[in-house]
A and B are shown apart, each in its own frame.
Chain A
């Protein structure tokens, strides 16, 4: 399979690889996917409690090149956004940016899930779970 230049670039030089302290109240962790499906993404955010801006984002991914690229791109995009802004990122944006072929769309879905899971975890820790639930049901 031929990969787009952007996928190759993210694969060769993944952005924001790493681990944040998941016990910190400022950190939200999303772990999505399953090993038996061939992809697992862990995306973490550190949110400024005053501004609700995502100041740091880190990921680690077990998966194909497109999965690695999708999660790498996701961390780039959410950094500097508020949590509400970050929730607006759609998997279709990732598909477009990385020119993912149809068989790789699930990688982008997983990246969107990872963003939501990380934000959900942060909200839960900081007592804003109800807002998150309301927003989810609105979709």
Chain B
């Protein structure tokens, strides 16, 4: 850890960090590069010792590991366990790492052999049920979103470097959407998970007139029973609601409950 950075005159440690990716689109790591205006300031906060997508050098002496993607193969489990042994803090970066992300949609078939055959025919290919990082190792911090919001990452990483407590919003996206004075998407006939999804994205999708798909998972205070009533009142089919709820894996338990109820004999 180097100490050549100061904050309000106090020396601040520049922790060594590494970025890693398991099964993913690598978009969350790109989001970090996508913050061109503050990128150089952000980079000066930490010392990057591993970032395969961006640099050739590869150190194993990272204190903080940011891991993107979900676990879908045995070698990924091993890599993840290795990262856990090396790092003091492991951060799950994005929805794939936190909940399995869109990758976990293949779990819904409960039939890996069919999934493999559908894409690869008879060619042998290795894969597992998709798991979030927390199913394999202890995760210290989760950064939600598909993609992650770079401003939020910078805020969280700054707090991490300064040793401040990191708090995620407890309220849903709906609050942020109202604060932005957006027209309610339900009034435009669009389904939206804003009422139940954890805030922190500043109502990114609803502000662009796309209903929330729940990529950040449920808010701690989410009232999912009420969501079903809202959807039904607005004439939105259960299929469209489930499409959104199951998309990123954050609402997996709730979706399983709805499906179980659907299958109960009347």
**Is A bound to B?**
no
A residues sitting closer than 8 Å to B (CB atoms) are none
